[in-house]
C-alpha cells in the first residue's frame, strides 16, 4: 500500500488520514521538501480544540518559521512526542513516523470537502 493512499491534502500542505475513527494530521512530503531541514516543532496541548483553518502548530526549518493550519475542526487527542524531540523525523518519514497530531472531529466529513486527494494535490501544486 502506498503511503499516500487515502490521504487528503490541503492547499496549505497539511494532510489528513482517517484511521479508526480518529484523524491523523501531518505535513505533505512536498511541504517538507520545500522547508528543508526541520529543526523545531511546537505542537498544541492534548484537549485543545481548533476550528478548520486555525493555526494549531508551528514548524521551523533552518531558514524560517511557518504556521500549520487545521485542515478540519476538531479536538487534539494525541500528539507525536517523538517529532518534538527529534524534528528531523519529518524529513525522513513525513507520513509514517512524522505525523503531528491525532484529532477527534464531528464535522470532518463536511470540513474535508475542499481537501484534495494526493494525486490531485500534486497536480495542483505542480
Contact residues toward another protein (CB under 8 A) are 36-37, 39-40, 42, 58, 60-65, 91
Nearer to another protein, 57 or 116 (CB): 57
CB of 20 to another protein, least distance (A): 32
Compare residues 51 and 65 and give the one whose CB is closer to another protein: 65
User: Is 60 or 117 the residue whose CB approaches another protein more closely?
Assistant: 60
Give the closest residue to 65 by CA, choosing from 83, 26, 39, 92: 39
- Nearest-angstrom CA–CA distance, 113 and 91: 28
Taking the complex as a whole, the smallest distance from the CB of residue 68 to another protein amounts, in Å, to 13
Backbone torsions φ then ψ of 43, nearest 5 degrees: -105, 155
Amino acid at each position: 500500500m502506498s503511503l499516500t493512499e487515502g490521504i487528503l491534502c490541503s492547499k496549505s500542505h497539511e494532510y489528513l488520514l482517517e484511521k479508526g475513527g480518529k484523524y491523523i494530521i501531518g505535513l505533505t512530503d512536498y511541504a517538507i521538501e520545500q522547508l528543508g531541514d526541520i529543526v523545531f516543532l511546537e505542537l498544541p496541548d492534548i484537549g485543545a480544540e481548533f476550528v478548520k483553518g486555525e493555526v494549531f502548530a508551528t514548524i521551523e526549518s533552518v531558514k524560517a518559521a511557518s504556521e500549520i493550519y487545521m485542515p478540519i475542526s476538531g479536538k487534539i487527542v494525541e500528539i507525536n512526542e517523538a517529532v518534538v524531540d527529534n524534528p528531523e523525523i519529518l524529513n525522513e518519514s513525513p507520513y509514517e513516523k512524522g505525523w503531528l497530531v491525532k484529532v477527534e472531529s464531528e464535522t470532518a466529513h463536511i470540513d474535508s470537502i475542499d481537501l484534495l486527494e494526493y494525486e490531485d494535490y500534486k497536480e495542483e501544486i505542480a
